[in-house]
Amino acid sequence: MDSTMQHTPLLISSLLRFGTTVFAEQKVITWTGEGARELTYAEVGQRAAQLAHALRKLGIDGDQRVGTFMWNNAEHLITYLAVPSMGAVLHALNIRLFPPQIVYVATHADDRIVIVDNTLAKPFSGLLAHLPGVQHVIVNGSIDDETRAALEAPEHVVAVHDWDALLEGEPTAYDWPEDLDENSASSMCYTSGTTGNPKGVAYSHRSNYLHAVTAALALGAKQGDRLLVVVPLFHANAWGFPYLAMAVGASLIMPDRFLQAAPLAAMIEREKVTFGAGVPTIWNDLLSYLETNPADLSTCRGLVVGGAAAPPAMMKAFQEEHGITIIHAWGMTEMSPIGTVAIPPTTVEPGSDEYWRYAAAQGRLVVGVEGRLVGPDDSIAPWDGESVGELEVRGPWITRSYYANGRESDVDRMEMESKFHDGWLRTGDVGTLSEDAFLVLTDRAKDVIKSGGEWISSVDLENAIMAHPDVREASVVGVPDDRWGERPLASVVLRAGSPTTVEDVREWLAGRLPKWMLPERWAVIDEVPKTSVGKFDKKVLRKRYAEGELEVQTLA
């Protein structure tokens, strides 16, 4: 029997039209350091049209890639909406990658135009000599003569444009194409390249649309919310926030380059933020700041954490001291990215041990995402909360392959292919699934510490150490051991002025963990090294240890 339903393609332009008309009064608010500047969604729609007209005149007439090298601000949101809506492909460049990696991804994606914030224009100019495919650079904001000269150096052969001047006089309406294939690419992100070269994921209009609607449902975003988007728009599809805001009619608070605890506290208080999104290091810094700098955060009901696991101690402190619920969400760039959200079942008593077990998990699989646990022999482990395996996932917003242009090395090609198994994405995460679909990750497959006949979860050990009140951060890696093959090395950041020593921390742990899990090797460091997206960079700690750069204490 044939369906009687209409078929309209799921396009970014549909979200753009809906959000900027139905919720025309909602706003995007960009922090300036001295206050904020505002645009209504109606104005966002008009400027998106102007940008599309301008890009057409610069030669964007198909699915060419338009890159961004920007902070979170109104102009970045406008680009997020306009570029895919006109049929081109948005490529948000990760500004925190090493320069060779930025050059690699911009070249691999074949970026033709790059929109750059003025505060990033000088460092970007140093990359242009290595980006012969870039034909135009659009600068958002004023730049000095020295920066302009660096961008316009003769060897670059690029045209440099001012954002405001480029858009001025362009029509404020655009006939967004409705005949685009919903399965065609709308945007792309690259992984952070922790192994090999960064790998590109090309999201479709359909996948972004479905992900945005599901993410809004799973996170509880709603009309009138004021969402503080600290997660960079260049990281993992911005967790879907630019698009879900259009779908539900929530205003967006954009921090631009002001990502320190003091301005974030001011944003929450002044802009009456109701919900936020960012990596745990951001919220941990905010929590520490609030200890000596009180702020009114009473409007904020929750902060979602992704990119890395949030320490349970931090989660409890926010809830008990500030009435803010920290919500775990887990996913990957390859998953658009949300796959699970940790909202405890309503049958669980808030504040109980069972409640915190659910809240500290990675979360329940969201509708649309299927998961399975695969053992080392390819057997499928049951959902019983105990059986461990590598998580594999599939669903309508999960990639089935990485973007390839035919110029990849054999090593990169083999690594890209190894990530897929019978139509499922291999996540590289090891953990369990409960009967009610709650995921608990015990480690990355490459980070599990194999000590004698036991496996030690570096994540569990880190969380246990960071529960100590005088430990700000802790990272655990496995290091060679003559007797056990591998043992944990704990690198900790102690609170400033604290008399606590690593001996004190280990003694404190002794009453909470089995003896065989307790690290013998400890190092006190100023800061845990982090990747470009805020995750603990364990490969740096392993290298420092191997090269004798860490001052390690061995405790009996």
Q: Which residues are catalytic?
A: 191, 334, 450, 455
- ∠ CA 257-262-265 to the nearest 5 degrees? 100
Residue 196 near residue 221, CB atoms below 8 Å: no
b vs e for 373-408, b when ≥16 Cβ sit within 10 Å of the residue's Cβ? bbeeeeeebebeeeebbbbbbbbebbbeebbeeeeb
Residue 38's DSSP bridge partners are 29
Residue 239 near residue 230, CB atoms below 8 Å: no
Amino acid present at 511? G
Spatial distance between the Cα atoms of 143 and 166, rounded to a whole number of angstroms:
15
Show the tokens assigned to 200. 């590109």
Residue 527 near residue 534, CB atoms below 8 Å: no
Residue 258's DSSP bridge partners are none
Show the tokens assigned to 271. 């802009």
DSSP character string of 346-413? TTSPTTSHHHHHHHHS-EEEPTT-EEEEE-TTSPEEPSSSS--EEEEEE-TTS-SS-B--S---HHHH
Residue 237 near residue 187, CB atoms below 8 Å: yes
Close Cβ partners of 230 (under 8 Å, ≥ 6 residues apart): 72, 255, 259, 264, 276, 277, 278, 279, 282
**Half-sphere exposure (CA, 13 Å, Cβ side) for 78?**
31
Residue 364 near residue 437, CB atoms below 8 Å: yes
Q: How far is CA 180 from CA 14, 161, 468, in A?
A: 11, 29, 54
- Cα separation of the two ends of the chain: 73
Give me the sheet containing 471-481, strands edge to edge: 471-481, 485-494, 521-524, 552-554
Residue 65 near residue 112, CB atoms below 8 Å: yes
Q: Residue 177: is the preceding peptide bond cis (ω within 30°)?
A: no
Q: φ and ψ at 40, to 5 degrees?
A: -75, 160
